[in-house]
Amino acid sequence: MKLLHATTVPSTLRFLEGHAKHLGEEGTQVVLLSSPAAELEEIAASEGARAISVDMKRAISPAADVVALARLVRVLKKERPEILHAHTPKAGLLVTLAGRIARVPVCVYQIHGLRFATATGAQRVLLKTAERVACASAHAVLCVSPSALEYAEAEHIICPGKGRVIGAGTINGVDTAAFDASRFAGTVATTRHELEIPASATVIGFVGRVVRDKGIAELADAWQEIRDIHPDAHLLLVGAPEETDPVDPRVMETLEEDPRVHITGFRADVRPFLASMDVLVLPSYREGFGQTLLEASSMGVATAGSDIPGIRDAVVHDRTGLLFPAHDSRSLARCLDRLLGDARLRAELGAEGRRRVLAEFDRPLVREQFLAFYRDVARRAR
């Protein structure tokens, strides 16, 4: 079986870490296609896969998109994969169309998140249309979470019955051996010391892009409500800002000037920071799946997240964490106040979170589920 994974930019392929290597070990020939970059070659080499580059612009660019579509058709006619698996909106649009033109037996489009959920006006219409075309062009559509699938069907992005979720969701599961708090028990004190966080502090953490859509403004407001009530609490943000979706400068200034707020910037390995947290919070406006919440749960950390599609699959309310309404800083503050004030609750949520990740999202389990899916759709297409 020959499988071609396609993404708009190579960095997205990192979400599939180990996926291609596992498929190769099971006898599948894997090709990784994305826009040209050294990162593409690096990822392909680490996965034991071949790399093919075709320049694709992330933004809508009619002239460039037509050129890319023509190149993709030529590549697919030459490669003749049995299965084409496209990720991200632009690759989903161009690559599935090219796959149909090139008569690839099985074209799969995977929805990782729906950008139109927070867009307005003409941009929302454009984004929804692109998603609809990608889904219509694909033979099968995967969603990374059950609630994302439900939302996509409600918005008429996917025809009822065409979409599906692999297992309980996620992109690639969680490496529970790597995200194991016991591996970092001896580093917590060092990490906190480097961050100038007292050993006795209770740490609220955030991991992700420090952008508006992640609810940083609401987190900052909630922090202002609870910081005086819990004088031993500290706020730790692990991630970097992005110019495409900036947080209000006044919000960032307030956070940066607070001696009990710690912003690390981008970190490739977030595990030492997760191990140093007591609570992981994700107040996003939109998510395909709250992967960082699952990783925190795997580390035995209590979690809190917005009650939105994608996050409500990663957090089971009052069992592995707490949910609160999106855009609601007061509800977030009450949620954090409850967690900060109850160490036993945090421990119970963290322990149950770890058990759930092991049972439903352990990476070997998810990889076997994907392999079964590929074999099934390939068999049906013959």
Contact 227, 218 (CB under 8 A): no
DSSP 282-345: E--S--S--HHHHHHHHTT-EEEEESSTTTTTT--BTTTEEEE-TT-HHHHHHHHHHHHT-HHH
Residue 313's domain comprises 181-360
Rounded to an integer, the average pLDDT of 14-25 is: 91
134 and 254 share a domain?
Answer: no
pLDDT of 206-263, one tens digit each? 999 999 999 999 999 999 999 999 999 999 999 999 988 999 999 999 999 999 999 9
pLDDT at 147 over 90: yes
Residue 21's contacts (CB-CB under 8 Å, 6 or more residues apart) are: 46, 47, 48, 49
239 and 135 share a domain?
Answer: no
321 and 348 share a domain?
Answer: yes
201: tokens are: 């502090």
Reported as a pLDDT band with limits 50, 70 and 90, residue 27 is very high
Tell me the CA end-to-end span of the chain in Å, nearest whole number.
Answer: 12
**CATH number for 76:** 3.40.50.2000
128 and 275 share a domain?
Answer: no
User: Helix (H, G, I), strand (E, B), or coil: what is residue 83?
Assistant: strand
Reported as a pLDDT band with limits 50, 70 and 90, residue 119 is confident
76 and 191 share a domain?
Answer: no
Enter the DSSP assignment of 90.
Answer: H
Question: What is the arrangement of strands in the sheet containing 321-324, beginning at the earlier edge strand?
Answer: 261-263, 233-238, 202-207, 279-282, 302-306, 321-324
User: Helix (H, G, I), strand (E, B), or coil: what is residue 141?
Assistant: strand
Higher pLDDT, 113 or 168: 168
Query: Which pLDDT score, from 0 to 100, does residue 379 have?
Result: 86
155 and 67 share a domain?
Answer: yes
Rounded Cα distance between 124 and 121, Å, is 5
Rounded to an integer, the average pLDDT of 272-299 is: 97
Contact 22, 28 (CB under 8 A): no
pLDDT of 328-357, one tens digit each? 999 999 999 999 999 999 999 999 999 999
Rounded Cα distance between 119 and 134, Å, is 18
pLDDT at 179 over 90: yes
Burial class (CB within 10 angstroms; exposed 0-12, middle 13-18, buried 19+) of 9 = middle
- Number of compact structural domains in the chain: 2
Q: What is the chain's mean pLDDT, rounded?
A: 95
pLDDT at 382 over 80: no
Contact 40, 65 (CB under 8 A): no
pTM score, whole prediction: 0.92
63 and 126 share a domain?
Answer: yes
Query: Which pLDDT score, from 0 to 100, does residue 51 have?
Result: 97
Reported as a pLDDT band with limits 50, 70 and 90, residue 182 is very high
7 and 74 share a domain?
Answer: yes
Reported as a pLDDT band with limits 50, 70 and 90, residue 177 is very high
Rounded Cα distance between 126 and 289, Å, is 23
103 and 221 share a domain?
Answer: no
Reported as a pLDDT band with limits 50, 70 and 90, residue 61 is confident
H helices of the chain, in order, are 19-25, 38-47, 62-79, 89-101, 121-137, 146-154, 188-195, 216-226, 249-256, 271-275, 291-298, 329-340, 343-360, 363-381
142 and 224 share a domain?
Answer: no
Rounded to an integer, the average pLDDT of 135-149 is: 94
Query: Which pLDDT score, from 0 to 100, does residue 28 have?
Result: 93
334 and 195 share a domain?
Answer: yes
262 and 159 share a domain?
Answer: no
Reported as a pLDDT band with limits 50, 70 and 90, residue 118 is confident
Contact 362, 174 (CB under 8 A): yes
Contact 158, 141 (CB under 8 A): yes
pLDDT over 70 percentage in the chain: 100
